[in-house]
């Protein structure tokens, strides 16, 4: 197996230290992808200090992209990043043969890791079959496992344990915060790099168990907030880190809950207010209305994130 630097877990762990942004395609109101705006967003993330760029099935809206667009989006992220950040590609829920083709193509694109998002209708994925699937993909490119299966159940510990000896499996992205994620960390932190899959709030819960970094809302648009949190955390100023989480992270999710809007739609709205991208998401996904954009703008102004 031809080895690259990201087959080394230490290299992946270093690149995942701190806040990690996921990349979302920007859309025109018509639903077509705005590649220029998408490139602006990626450039802003790199300029904001992102050491890794993450493509995910959910946050990156692969759920409303075609298979062809999904591959093009992964290629575009790697191209714009230009090796200035580790690029983690992600598939849609494809069968094993298609996942292997996807991994080989992502390697050609210059992506550094792949997340094989496996299908799991009616819990059809068997542990032995799944282990073999990941093992084969890992021989093509380094793999980041995603704990949240297609139907929302956590990947079995036994499957992850069976992959400990596979050199191609280097990292885990955990989207199952709470007891599952902490127990998983306790079992695997000596072997795999570990990304907490959403929010500084959940990272603080998992950090004592060995999480390396976290998927950050603010690293996408206002990176100075995520870096402020990380500085307080790494300096051991935990009360100040918690205050940042409460003021920005918790408050944002309280805001979207109170307004009854989707958090992804609100993040797209942030891109537009910051002058980086557009609020639109492809139908039938919702996008913020003018009234909701005004309320989001007031939320950001209150926290001095925009003039």
Beta bridge partners of 19: 214
Q: Which residue's entry shows tokens 């031809």?
A: 2
Whole-angstrom distance, CA of residue 127 vs CA of residue 5? 29
Please determine, for residue 99, whether its predicted confidence score (pLDDT) is greater than 70. Answer: yes
Q: Which residue's entry shows tokens 């205050």?
A: 243
DSSP per-residue letters across 107-137: HHHT-SEEE-----GGG---HHHHHHHHHHH
| φ and ψ at residue 87, rounded to 5 degrees | -105, 125
What pLDDT, in 10s, does the model give residues 228-273? 999 999 999 999 999 999 999 999 999 999 999 999 999 999 999 9
What is the predicted pLDDT for the residue at 3? 58
What is the predicted pLDDT for the residue at 2? 43
- pLDDT band of residue 27 (cuts 50, 70, 90) is very high
Query: Between these two residues, 194 and 197, which has the higher pLDDT value?
Result: 194
Q: What is the largest CA-CA distance in the chain?
A: 55
- pLDDT band of residue 119 (cuts 50, 70, 90) is confident
- pLDDT band of residue 121 (cuts 50, 70, 90) is confident
Average pLDDT, the chain: 93
Q: Which residue's entry shows tokens 């954009």?
A: 293
What number is the average pLDDT over the span 169-191?
92
- pLDDT band of residue 11 (cuts 50, 70, 90) is very high
Q: Which conformational region is residue 49 in: left (phi greater than 0), alpha (psi within -120 to 50 degrees), or beta?
A: left
| φ and ψ at residue 84, rounded to 5 degrees | -80, -15
Tokens describing residue 76: 């575009």
21 closest CA partner among 80, 65, 85: 85
Q: pLDDT above 90 covers what percent of the chain? A: 87
19 closest CA partner among 203, 219, 177, 197: 219
Please determine, for residue 168, whether its predicted confidence score (pLDDT) is greater than 60. Answer: yes
Cα 202 from chain centre: 14
């Amino acid at each position: 197996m031809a080895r690259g630097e990201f087959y080394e877990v230490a290299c992946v762990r270093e690149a995942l230290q701190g806040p990690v942004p996921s990349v979302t395609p920007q859309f025109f109101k018509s639903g077509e992808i705005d590649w220029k705006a998408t490139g602006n967003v990626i450039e802003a993330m790199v300029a904001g200090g992102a050491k890794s760029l993450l493509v995910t099935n959910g946050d990156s809206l692969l759920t409303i992209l075609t298979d062809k667009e999904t591959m093009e989006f992964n290629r575009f992220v790697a191209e714009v990043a230009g090796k200035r950040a580790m690029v983690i590609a992600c598939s849609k829920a494809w069968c094993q043969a298609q996942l292997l083709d996807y991994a080989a193509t992502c390697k050609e694109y210059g992506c550094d890791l792949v997340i094989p998002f496996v299908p799991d209708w009616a819990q059809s994925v068997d542990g032995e079959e799944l282990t073999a699937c990941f093992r084969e993909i890992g021989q093509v490119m380094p793999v980041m496992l995603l704990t949240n299966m297609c139907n929302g159940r956590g990947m079995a510990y036994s499957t992850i344990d069976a992959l400990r000896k596979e050199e191609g499996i280097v990292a885990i992205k955990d989207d199952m915060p709470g007891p599952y994620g902490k127990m998983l960390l306790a079992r695997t932190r000596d072997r795999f790099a570990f990304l907490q899959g959403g929010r500084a709030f959940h990272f603080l819960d998992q950090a004592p168990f060995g999480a390396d970094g976290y998927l950050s809302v603010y690293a996408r648009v206002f990176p100075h907030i995520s870096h402020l949190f990380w500085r307080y955390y790494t300096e051991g100023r935990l009360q100040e880190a918690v205050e940042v989480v409460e003021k920005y992270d918790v408050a944002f999710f309280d805001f979207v809950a109170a307004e009854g809007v989707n958090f992804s739609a609100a993040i797209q709205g942030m891109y537009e207010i910051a002058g980086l991208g557009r609020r639109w998401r492809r139908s039938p996904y919702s996008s913020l209305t003018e009234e909701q954009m005004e309320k989001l703008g007031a939320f950001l102004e209150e926290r001095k994130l925009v003039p």
